[in-house]
Amino acid sequence: MDILLQVAVILVCLFYGARKGGVALGLLGGIGIVIMTFVFGLKPGKPPVDVMLTIIAVVAASATLQASGGLDVMLKGAEKVLRRNPKYVSILAPFTTCVLTMLCGTGHVVYTMLPIIYDVAIKNDIRPERPMAASSISAQMGILASPVSVAVVALVAFLAKAPVDGHVIDFVQVLSITIPSTLAGVLMIGIFSWFRGKDLDQDPEFQARIADPEQRKLIYGDSATLMNKTLSRDQWTAMWIFVAAIALVAFLGAFPALRPVFGDKPLSMVLTIQMFMLLAGALMIIFTKTDPSIIGKTEVFRAGMIAVVAVFGVAWMADTVFQSHLPELKAALTELVKTQPWTYAIALLLVSKLVNSQAAAISAMVPVGLAIGVPPGYVVAYAAAAYGYYILPTYPSDLAAIQFDRSGTTHIGKYVINHSFILPGLIGVGTSCVVGYLLAAASGLI
C-alpha cells in the first residue's frame, strides 16, 4: 500500500510541476524527496551527479555557440537548402531541424527556423501545416540522435552501470542505433506530411481568410530570412570549433584505445564529453570576440539549466522510491518485462508526457527499467519513446509553430487531442522504435 501512495506523490509532483513549467518540475521533486524521507522514512536515493555535470558542460558549449553567432551559420545553411528546393519543403524542413538539433544538442534551435519554414511554404502555395508541424516534431526527435544532447548523455551514463555479459553498451553503439532510427522516423514524418491536409487552393477556410485584404497581407506578409545577413569570420570560427569538438568526441567514442587508460580502463565517455565541451566553449571565447556575459542570457543556456534542475529533482525523487522497493518490483514485474518488454516503452512515453523532457524521462525510467530486469538492448531500442510530450500541444516549440503559422493551418483541434502534431509524433516515434528494435536485434543487443 505504501508504494502506491508514494507513486501517487511522484505523479502529483510531476503533473503539477509540468503544469507550472520552467524549473518548477525539478523543485517539485524536492517536495517529493522530503515526503519520502521524512514521512515514509525511505533512505534518500542518489541524484545523477554525472548526468547533471555533463548537461552543464554541454549547455555551456552550446550557449557559447549561440552567443558567438556560430549558430547563425548553421541556420543560414539550413535556409539555403530550403530556398533552393521549395517544392520539397515538407520533407526537407523536418530533416533540417532534426540535423540542427543533432549538432547543437537541443531542440530549441527550431524557433529561428520556424518563420523561415513558414515563409518558404506560404510563398510557394504549400500548406504551412505540413512542414511546420513536421519540423517541430523532428527537432525534438533529433535529441536522441545527438552526441551532445542531455538525453543521450544520461542514457549512456545509466547503461554504463548495466553491462551485458561483461560488455557495456557504449556511446557509439547507442548512437549507431538512435541516429538511423531517428532519421527513419523523420523520413516517415516527411512522407506523411507531403500528403496531409487540403491544398491551400482547395481549403475553404483558408480561402475565406485570404478574401479579407488585411488577412491576406498578414498571411503572405514580409519574408523572414537570414540570407541577407553577413556572417563574420568569428561566427565561422565558433561554428567550426563546436563541430570539431563534436566530431572529436564521436571519434574518441569509436576508438576507446585513443583515450587515456586509468586502472586498466579507458577514460569514460561521460568525462570525455565533459572535458571536450568545456574545451570547445573556452576555445570559442579565446578565438572569437564573444562576450562571456551574454552566454548566460541565451535561450540555450536558460533551457539547459532548467533541464539540470528537472533531472536533479525528478531523478532523485524517483530513485528514492524505486530503490527502496526494488525487491518487490523485481518480483512483480520481472516476468512482465521479459515476456513483453514493449511495455517499458509505453511507460517511458507516458512519463515523458508528464515531465515534458526526454532527459528527465530517461533519468527517471531507465534506472528503474534496468533495475527490474529490462534488458539494456531494449532500453536502447526504444529510446525514441522518451519523446511523448507531443501528445498534448503544450510544448513551447509546438506552440511557437502555431503562432508562426499565420495561415492558421497549424492548429489545436476542437477536442485538443486532434491537433497538428499528434499524427507526425505518433508516426515518427513509432517508426523510430520499430527501426531501433530491428537495429538492436541485428547488432546482437536483443
Domain extents in the chain: 48-442
pTM: 0.80
Q: Are 429 and 353 in contact (CB under 8 A)?
A: no
Whole-number pLDDT of residue 71 = 87
Q: Are 369 and 349 in contact (CB under 8 A)?
A: no
Distance CA 201, CA 300 (A): 39
Whole-number pLDDT of residue 107 = 81
Whole-number pLDDT of residue 81 = 92
CB-based burial of residue 442 (10 Å sphere; 0-12 exposed, 13-18 middle, 19+ buried)?
A: exposed
Whole-number pLDDT of residue 388 = 92
First to last CA, the chain: 35
Nearest residue to 425 via CA among 117, 90, 15, 135: 135
Whole-number pLDDT of residue 18 = 66
What angle separates helix 2-20 from helix 24-34, to the nearest 10 degrees? Answer: 160
Alpha-carbon dihedral sign for residues 332, 389, 54, 265: positive
At 389, list the grid cell: 510530450
Distance CA 288, CA 67 (A): 11
Q: Are 224 and 119 in contact (CB under 8 A)?
A: yes
Alpha-carbon dihedral sign for residues 349, 350, 354, 359: negative
Nearest residue to 6 via CA among 276, 244, 319: 319
Nearest residue to 422 via CA among 445, 396, 388, 446: 388
* Under-50 pLDDT residues of the chain: none
> Residue 206 CB: number of other CB atoms within 10 A?
21
Query: Tell me, what DSSP letter sits at residue 262?
Result: E
Whole-number pLDDT of residue 21 = 66
Distance CA 394, CA 19 (A): 9
Phi-psi region of 197 (alpha: psi -120 to 50; beta: other; left: phi over 0): left
Q: Are 173 and 443 in contact (CB under 8 A)?
A: yes
Nearest residue to 10 via CA among 34, 29, 38, 37: 29
